[in-house]
Amino acid sequence: LARRGAQAAARALARARGELADPRPWFEAPLRFHHGIALPAPELHAEALLFAARRLFASLAAWLDARHAAVDRFRLRFGHGSRPPTELEFALGRPSRDEGHFALIVRERLAMLELSAEVDSITLCAESPVAADPRARDLFGDPAQAGEDAALLLARLQARLGEECVQRLDLRADHRPEAAWRNTVPSAQATTARAGRDAAAGPASTRTASPPPRTTAGLRPLWLLPAPRPISAPRYTLLGAAERIETGWWDGMPVRRDYYLARDADNVLCWIFESLDAPGQWFVHGYFG
């Protein structure tokens, strides 16, 4: 064969006989998961759709195991024949490769979903896998389990109510009370980490309480009014020195106020201030629990 110019055939024969090295490429799992199934009959009931989708969840879990990876979100597309498909995105709350976790989140969404038509196919897509957490369980129980439970609860609420309906308060680096916080979508990682720290610290009853503050400066009410409400100062008893907040001149929304901890005529603890731009004008800005 070699003398007749068939060098490629000769090398292939030599590799087959073991006379030449024949290295084979390693199998590499695809970078994204995309798999679908056709239903044996059109279906509209949530439990039947979930039963069919479990096959896809098992395939996704095997794909993630092969990559030693996990996902924190995925998409399901429900086909309706000639009609446009219904596409849903699911957030898991924390990276996971547990098919039971996938099914639990999907069940919450399907329980609230009204499909436009019967479903004849289901497609599951997952992209951007992350490395799976290799942490082993602690000898006396896993403190991170509390964090995982909190993240799972968060994911179930988001699946049932919608991500935009589940929010948390987040602090901002601003001394103005009305600008010192904002509503944000909860971070699964932050929820998991905080709950894990709380679990590791032990029950709340065993923790050392912080000493009471020696000054009222820096205290903030739990209930902050949407806007300061004008009041009559003589009806309030001041309980400490003023805390001056004077800031915001650089962004066109300046405030110049002296805040006080005070009690009103009904003995309610509140947060009031006097405007430095209009001395003698008092406002209540919030109430303590």
Whole-number Cα distances in Å, 50 to 100, 108, 201, 284: 11, 11, 39, 53
Cα→Cα distances 185→67, 93, 145, 158, Å: 29, 11, 22, 10
Question: Which pair of structure tokens corresponds to residue 29?
Answer: 């799992």
Residue 104's alpha-carbon distances to 61, 90, 93, 214, in angstroms, are: 14, 11, 12, 49
1's tokens: 């064969």
Q: Which is more confident, 51 or 222? A: 51
Going by C-alpha positions, the residue among 237, 235, 242, 234 that lies closest to residue 216 is: 242
Q: At 111, is the pLDDT very low, low, confident or very high (cuts 50, 70, 90)?
A: confident
For residues 48 and 94, give the distance between their C-alpha atoms in angstroms, rounded to a whole number: 26
Instruction: Tell me which range, 23-32, 86-95, 116-125, 212-221, is most confidently predicted by mean pLDDT.
Output: 116-125
Strongest mean pLDDT among 192-196, 205-209, 218-222: 218-222
Question: Picking from 8-22, 167-181, 238-252, which range would have the lowest pLDDT averaged per residue?
Answer: 167-181
Q: Is the pLDDT of residue 1 over 80?
A: no
| Tens-place pLDDT, residues 185-200 | 776 555 555 545 554 4
pLDDT confidence of residue 206: 45
Question: What percentage of residues in the chain have a pLDDT greater than 90?
Answer: 32
46-102 per-position pLDDT tens digit: 999 999 999 999 999 999 998 889 998 999 999 999 999 999 999 887 888 999 989
User: Residue 164: pLDDT above 70?
Assistant: yes
Whether the pTM exceeds 0.85: the reply is no
| pLDDT reported for residue 140 | 45
Predicted local confidence at residue 158, as pLDDT? 76
Is the model more confident about 256 or about 186? Answer: 256
* pLDDT at residue 198, rounded to an integer: 52
What's the confidence (pLDDT) of residue 191? 52
Alpha-helical regions (H) of the chain = 7-16, 46-67, 99-112, 144-161, 188-201
Mean pLDDT score of the chain = 81
Give the mean model confidence (pLDDT) for residues 162-180. 80
* Residue 263: strand pairing partners: 237, 269
d(Cα 82, Cα 76) in Å, to the nearest integer?
18
Residues 6+ apart with CB under 8 A from 279: none
Name which residue leads in pLDDT, 55 or 213. 55
Secondary structure of residue 37 in the 3-state scheme:
strand
